Amino acid sequence: MDQSDQLDAGPTEEGRYRLLVDAVTDYAIFMLDPSGRVISWNPGAQRFKGYQEAEILGQHFSVFYTESDRRAELPKHALATAETEGRFENEGWRVRQDGSHFWANVVIDPIWASSGELIGFAKVTRDLTERKQAEAALARSEHQFRLLVQSVTDYAICMLDPEGRVSNWNQGAQRIKGYAPEEIIGQHFSRFYTEEDRARGEPERGLAIARTTGRFEKEGCRQRKDGSLFIAHVVIDAIRSEDGTLLGYAKVTRDITESRETQKALARAREALFQSQKMESLGQLTGGIAHDFNNLLMVILGSLNVAAGHLQNDPKATRLLNNAIKGAQRGVSLTQRMLTFARSQDLRPEALEVPALVHGMADMLQRSLGPQIHIETRFSMKLDAVMADPNQLELALLNLMVNARDAMPEGGNIILSANNEIVTPGHAMALEPGPYVRLAVTDTGQGMDETTKAKAMDPFFTTKDLGEGTGLGLSMVHGMAEQLAGRLHIDSHKGQGTTVELWLPAKKHESSEGQADLQSQQQPEPRERVEQSLKILAVDDDSLVLFSMTAMLEDLGHQVIEASDASEAIEILKQDDSVDLVITDHAMPKMTGSELAEAIQQRWPHLPLILTSGYTERLQLPAYLPKLTKPFSQDALKQALQNLLTT
């Protein structure tokens, strides 16, 4: 075959291989002789390593290795391994002609002649620098993420395998749950649950929900290594591979015990504020109603008293009038309770010995409570006196004892106890620091549920049947205690009875000699009763009350001039200098009774004046003014006139 025939036949097999190798640019493919010198060089090798074929042929391939690898004789080891084992492969740093490094995957295969003689090595190198950089970046990212997770101390972050066993553990988990990593890794996460939750299958249920829905979230009670409990917010997320295989779970736990307690404290504070605002509003409403009701009772009592004086010879009419007066007096008692609740009733606190007060009302208490009730008293030795209004305190104790009796329809025991207490700053009763006496009425009755206890001091709230109670007993006691700078506290549980505590400011004992001296100093001198006809100016903006007061005064033999407001009263006094005395209501529009009194004091300083009121609203009225509380009877009016004229 001539040369033209060879050209038409195309490249030989060896030529085709040469073309194939030269066409590869992503791999460095070249041959080494048995000593390791380069004897062929393809374009991929030139691109990776930077050497032209003429520059590298005949050079030892160790020139591609780093200085440290050459010192370690790695090139020699690679050829020896390829010759003895038939193949050498590894990854490492290699050096380009310009001295820069790249990460290479290297495969060296021996080339044998048909006679078995080693004629060289085939070396294939791939540049994996980009992959290496990506792996390094990923490793750095994973390391940083591990540092991040491990540095978190406010959250317990851990991994669970598909069966729920702990596979890693961060510092937050150790701080919150108490386990060191070597103590918990490999253990099932159910040990964080309480025994009751484990019995109900709560751990398995959490994993099942996370497995099926991808996420489980819940708050509940969890257990630390030492057995203590805490409130936890738990999130469990399922971790899956790209093909959907479940790899495990990511579990994040936060200890919310402190925040939960803070929320509860805030809720209690809000409830206390709401209760305080509600009681204040109810007090204002109740006081206003009582004021208007007092005026009505003033009209009724005044008219009945006058009518009774004119019908003494008619027994039937007298009985009817007396019955009506008693009914009106019950209304007076009701308004006094309402005003006490509203803290608008004038109280006259004095030092009272509780044992003596209780002893004095013992017979009345036993008669009121009935034979099925056994009363027991437990008073501390050297019990301090309390600062209270004796009539109001008696009424308060009676109300508390009657309530205790009503809680025991089949009979039972009532314990009335008293002991000294010292209130310090931050005390649970929220009272001003100082000495107090704690009066407690304890029954063995049915007790109250939380709803009933929350409403017990509300006015008109009662658990009794219709017509059996006004619902003002506890509210009256509450109002009295607040007005005396004390506190009413209820401790009751359903089925366990009730204890109602009355905390009142205490007054230390004085010597009996000192008390006798004080009593002698306070004992008023006997006064001569004066009976005379007076010219009285009566002032009230309520025409019905004014008419009733006028009728009572005229029935007592006095001459009365009427005025419907303070301005009219002043004009009358300017024109008539024969007025002996002024009786005025306090709560009047434009000018109050106390303001009228001041005007009269400035212009007519010797003119006596009596101030009447059914609702003082804790006003600081002039101390020198005699006061008459509405509704008042004709006898009370007569006595007030006598007291004023004999001073």
Residue 45's pLDDT is: 87
Residue 346's pLDDT is: 54
Residue 315's pLDDT is: 76
pLDDT above 50: residue 294: yes
User: Looking at per-residue confidence, does 229 or 531 come out higher?
Assistant: 229
pLDDT above 60: residue 337: no
Q: Mean pLDDT for the chain?
A: 80
Residue 168's pLDDT is: 87
- The residue-averaged pLDDT of 274-280 equals 60
Q: Are strands 215-223 and 229-240 parallel, antiparallel or unpaired?
A: antiparallel
Distance CA 346, CA 611 (A): 14
Distance CA 508, CA 347 (A): 20
Residue 291's pLDDT is: 62
Task: Report, at the CATH architecture level, how domain 350-522 is classified.
Answer: 2-Layer Sandwich (3.30)
Domain 152-255 has CATH 3.20.20.70: no
Query: Quick one: tokens of 176?
Result: 């919150």
- Using pLDDT thresholds of 50, 70 and 90, give the confidence band for residue 463: low
Distance CA 579, CA 581 (A): 6
Q: Which helix (H) or strand (E) holds 378?
A: strand 373-379
Residue 618's pLDDT is: 46
Span 134-145, pLDDT tens digits: 676 666 655 565
> Cβ(357)–Cβ(394) under 8 Å?
yes
In the block, residue with structure tokens 């090798």: 45
274-327+526-647: CATH topology: Rossmann fold (3.40.50)
Show me where the domains of the chain are located: 3-127, 152-255, 274-327+526-647, 350-522
% of the chain exceeding 70 in pLDDT: 76
Residue 224's pLDDT is: 92
Domain 3-127's class?
alpha beta
Residue 515's pLDDT is: 42
Prior bond to 631 cis, omega within 30? yes
Residue 470's pLDDT is: 42
% of the chain exceeding 90 in pLDDT: 32
Q: Which helix (H) or strand (E) holds 90?
A: strand 88-95
The answer to pTM > 0.85 is no
Span 35-62, pLDDT tens digits: 999 999 988 888 888 899 899 999 999 9
The DSSP result for 120-178, as a single string, is EEEEEEEE-HHHHHHHHHHHHHHHHHHHHHHH--SEEEEEE-TTSBEEEE-HHHHHHH-
Domain pair 152-255 / 350-522, same fold? no
Span 195-213, pLDDT tens digits: 999 999 999 999 999 999 9
Residue 475's pLDDT is: 66
